[in-house]
Amino acid sequence: MREILVTGGAGYIGSHVVRALEARGFAPVIYDNLSTGFRDFVRGFELVQGSIGDYETLCALFREREIACVMNFASFIAVGESVELPLRYYENNVSRTVTLLRAMLDSGVKRFIFSSSAAVYGEPEIVPIPEDARLCPTSPYGRTKHFVEEILRDLDVSSEFRSVSLRYFNAAGAHPSGEIGESHVPETHLIPLVMRAAMDESYRIKVFGTDYDTRDGTCVRDYIHVNDLADAHVLALEKLLEEDRTLAYNLGNGSGFTVREVIESVRRVTGRAIGQIDAPRRPGDPASLIASSDRAVKELGWKPRYAELDSIVETAWRWESRRLRKGY
Ligand code: UFG
C-alpha cells in the first residue's frame, strides 16, 4: 500500500482526508504536533508526533518509510489573527513549510499536495474566480499561501519536485458519522460560532461588516463540505502520482452565501433563534469569494456531493451536538 504522510492530519480537514485516503486504499501516516489537532480525531490511525519545522525528525521518518507523497495541512488559518500576528503566520506557514520541503527534497520525496486557499486571490476582479485570476492577497494569511505556491513553482523548475495546490474556499460541515468535525481554540469561524449562538441564548454572533457591496451588505463566501474537499484530495493525489505535473485547483461549490444567509440557514436547520449583533468590518476580509471549480470537475472528475448550504449545516449541527458531550 502506498504510504502518504499527512502533516496536520489530526486537525479538521486533515482528519477527514485521512479517512478518504484509507477508503481509497492508501496508507496514511499522520504527522502532527497536536498543537491544534486532536488525538481522538485519528484513533486507529498511525500518528507520529512532531513539527513540520523539525528537519531531523522528518528526515528520519523519510528514511524509515516509503512515503509516496506528503499532504500538508499543518497551517495556521485565521485571516483576522494573521493581520494582528503576521510573524506567527510567516513563521509557521512559510518558514516551517520550507523546512518540510527541504527535508523532502534532501530525502528524495518529490510529491506534495498543498492546502492553499481562496485567500490567495484577495478582492477578485472576476467572479466566480478562475484559477488564472490575479493573485493579490489582502491578508498576511493569504500571502503565506501565495508565497508557498510560488516556492512550489520554483521547485518545479529547479528539480523533479511536483505538487498540486488546492485552493479551498470555505471548508464547512462535518463527517456524517458525527465523529469528527470543526473545532478550533479559540474558535473564529462563522458556522461554529453561529452554532454556539443556537445553543447558548446569552451568546450573540457578531456580524463583521454590514456595508459591503453585496446583496445584504455582509460578506459572501462559498461554503464547501469538508468531505467533498477530502474527495478532491484523493483525486488530486492520484493525478499527481500518475501525471507528474505541478497544478493548482480551486475547490468550492460555485455559489456564495452572505453572513446573514448563513445565520438564517442555521436557524432553519436547528429550529432555534440566533442572537446577532452588527459589528465593524474584520481587517483582511475580502467582500466576496466564490469559486469556479470547473477545472477540478473537468480534470479531476470531482463531483461535490453537498451542493446545498442547509445540508452542509446539518452535518455541522450533528457534530456540534456531539462534541459538546465529548468536550472538544
Ligand atoms: N464572520 C462574522 N462573524 C464571526 C466570524 C466570521 O461575521 O464571528 C464573517 C467573516 O467576516 C467572513 C465570513 O464570516 O466574512 C467567514 O469567516 P470565517 O472566519 O468563517 O472564514 P474566512 O472566510 O475568514 O476564512 C476561511 C478560512 C481561511 C480560508 C478562507 C477561504 O479560515 O483559511 O475561508 O475563503 F482561506
- Who lines ligand 1 at CB under 6 A? 77-79, 117-119, 169-170, 188-190, 193, 205-208, 219, 221, 259, 282, 285, 289
Which amino acid residue places its CA nearest to atom 12 of ligand 1? Answer: 219
Reduced to 3 states, what is the DSSP secondary structure of residue 155?
Answer: helix
Q: Where are the domains of the chain?
A: 3-171+224-251, 190-221+254-326
CATH of 190-221+254-326 among 3.40.50.300, 3.90.25.10, 3.10.520.10, 3.10.580.10? 3.90.25.10
CB 258 within 8 A of CB 218: yes
How far apart (Å, rounded) are the C-alpha atoms in residues 38 and 33?
Answer: 10
How far does residue 192's CA lie from ligand 1's centre (Å)?
A: 11
How far does residue 62's CA lie from ligand 1's centre (Å)?
A: 35
How far apart (Å, rounded) are the C-alpha atoms in residues 181 and 23?
Answer: 18
Which amino acid residue places its CA nearest to atom 33 of ligand 1? Answer: 77
**205 Cα nearest atom in ligand 1:** 8
pLDDT score at 10 = 98
User: pLDDT digits over 249-258, tens only?
Assistant: 999 999 999 9
How far apart (Å, rounded) are the C-alpha atoms in residues 235 and 238?
Answer: 5
What global pTM score does this model have? 0.97
User: pLDDT digits over 130-169, tens only?
Assistant: 999 999 999 999 999 999 999 999 999 999 999 999 999 9
Which amino acid residue places its CA nearest to atom 4 of ligand 1? Answer: 190
How far apart (Å, rounded) are the C-alpha atoms in residues 145 and 121?
Answer: 10
User: pLDDT digits over 162-219, tens only?
Assistant: 999 999 999 999 999 999 999 988 999 999 999 999 999 999 999 999 999 999 999 9
How far does residue 34's CA lie from ligand 1's centre (Å)?
A: 23
29 residue type, one letter: V
Which amino acid residue places its CA nearest to atom 21 of ligand 1? Answer: 189
Confidence of residue 1 (pLDDT cuts 50, 70, 90): confident
284 residue type, one letter: G
Per the residue annotation, which of 31, 141, 223, 306 is the catalytic one?
A: 141
pLDDT score at 243 = 95
CB 6 within 8 A of CB 21: yes
195 residue type, one letter: M
**Helix (H) or strand (E) run with residue 32 in it:** strand 27-32
> Pseudo-torsion of CA 256, 259, 263, 265, nearest 10°?
0
Which amino acid residue places its CA nearest to atom 26 of ligand 1? Answer: 170
Residue 327 has pLDDT above 70, yes or no: no
Which amino acid residue places its CA nearest to atom 20 of ligand 1? Answer: 189
Best residue for ligand 1 mutational test, from 259, 261, 281 (most atoms within 8 Å of Cβ):
259
How far does residue 162's CA lie from ligand 1's centre (Å)?
A: 30
Joined together, the cell numbers standing for residue 196 give 454556539
Q: Give the residue-averaged pLDDT of 103-119.
A: 98
User: pLDDT digits over 294-325, tens only?
Assistant: 999 999 999 999 999 999 999 999 999 888 77
How far does residue 172's CA lie from ligand 1's centre (Å)?
A: 11
How far apart (Å, rounded) are the C-alpha atoms in residues 42 and 273?
Answer: 34
DSSP state of 123: S
Question: Taking CA 286 as the corner, what is the angle to CA 285 and CA 289, rounded to the nearest 5 degrees?
Answer: 120
pLDDT score at 324 = 73
Task: Please choose, from the candidates 59, 119, 69, the residue with its C-alpha nearest in 3D space to the C-alpha of residue 93.
Answer: 119
Task: Confirm whether 55 is a catalytic residue.
Answer: no
pLDDT score at 323 = 82
**282 Cα nearest atom in ligand 1:** 11
Domain 3-171+224-251, second-level architecture: 3-Layer(aba) Sandwich (3.40)
